[in-house]
Amino acid sequence: MIESPAPPEAPGLFPGFSPSVPESWWEFGIRTLRMVLPQTCIPVPGTTDKVVLVSGTSPVLDLAAAFHDIFGAVTGTFRFA
């Protein structure tokens, strides 16, 4: 088993995200959805040009900090076998 770099060595991106929604939702007054979109890029061992991109999404903005913590904890356990 090869272990990936442990956080904070594995870079993490934690942007907000506002995707467009289908026009059929517009009649309900919904034009965009605010989402939390954490991403972590994990280098593939033995390569210099490959990474694994792990992403998660949640529409629950009030719990964004907790979601980031859980996402970081889960991606921190990622291992190459």
Q: Which pLDDT does position 19 carry in this prediction?
A: 65
Any residues with CB less than 8 A from the CB of 75 and at least 6 apart, and which?
Answer: 7, 10, 12, 40, 42, 54
The type of residue at 7 is P
Contact between residue 78 and residue 54 where contact means Cβ atoms under 8 Å apart: yes
> pLDDT in tens for each of the 81 residues of the chain?
445 454 444 455 555 566 667 778 777 777 777 888 888 888 899 998 998 999 998 888 899 899 989 999 999 888 888
For residues 53 and 31, give the distance between their C-alpha atoms in angstroms, rounded to a whole number.
28
Q: Which pLDDT does position 80 carry in this prediction?
A: 84
Q: Which pLDDT does position 70 carry in this prediction?
A: 92
Predicted TM-score (pTM) of this structure:
0.61
Q: Which pLDDT does position 1 carry in this prediction?
A: 45
For residues 38 and 58, give the distance between their C-alpha atoms in angstroms, rounded to a whole number.
9
Q: Which pLDDT does position 27 carry in this prediction?
A: 78
For the chain, domain boundaries: 12-80
